[in-house]
Amino acid sequence: MKKEMSGKQFGMLTVLREVERENSPKHYWLCRCQCGKETVVEESHLKNGHTKSCGCYRRTVQKKRARDLTGLRFGRLLVLEAVLDGDGLLAGWKCQCDCGKQCVCKSASLTSGVTKSCGCLQEEQRKENMNKAIHFVDGTCVERIASRKTFVNNTTGHRGVYRKENNRWRASIGFRGKVYYLGSFERFEDAVEARLTAEEKLYDTFLKQYMEKKVNPSSDKESISEIYSARSQDGTVIFDKKYIMN
């Protein structure tokens, strides 16, 4: 077998001698590539044409086929240079983003338009989508008070109603970035009623004013904060200032 393979040419490889590998029934041959590098190749890969070089031929073909993207712009990215892997193959392209950061991107991602930034563009779009979906007015989330959703950690089944250690029920409500204490009650139903009354006086009125201003912004020059400040002064709001907890 050694005499049969030694000295033979397979592509860019010339067989030198057989190499034994422990616990392997296959035959391996040490070959010298035309580029001068030596490599060990399995016999079947030589005979069926699977391996024709030490790897230099594949790198050369890839470089010829690869489009040079240096200096081109893709969205916010300016391509600086090619990035090669350990075998000298093209791994990607180093790019400079308009935001100042650098990143490595695949050719296909750049040319197809999938990648247009280092990630800053996606983050800006995410924040913009959140701003479109969630509206804060005077520190109050419109969608949150409109849904009246009960959080998963609530143990009483009603928002703003909690059981105290002395078996009494505590009711509170959050509005404009503060928490208001509504009182302590012996019965759960009374605490729920206090909470619902507060929601009606604060949340429902707030949402009504918000929708009116959204439909016709010029109908009333008074802001939401001014409206509720006035309501507090004339006694319409049921809270006592001493119960405000920052």
Q: What is the mean pLDDT of each run of 10 residues along the chain (246 residues)?
A: 75 89 86 90 89 79 73 95 80 94 93 92 81 62 70 72 87 83 90 89 81 66 43 39 34
The model's pLDDT over 167-191, given as tens digits with 9 standing for 90+, comes to 899 998 888 778 888 889 999 999 9
pTM for this structure?
Answer: 0.37
Give the per-residue pLDDT at 230: 36
- The three-state DSSP-derived secondary structure of the chain is CHHHHCCCEECCEEEEEEECCCCCCCCEEEEEECCCCEEEEEHHHHHCCCCCCCCHHHHHHHHHHCCCCCCCEECCEEEEEEEECCCCCEEEEEEEECCCCEEEECHHHHHCCCCCCCCHHHHHHHHHHHHHHCCEECCEEHHHHHHCCCCCCCCCCCCCEEECCCCCEEEEEEECCEEEEEEEECCHHHHHHHHHHHHHHHHHHHHHHHHHHHHCHHHCCCCHHHHHHHHHHCCCCCCCHHHEEC
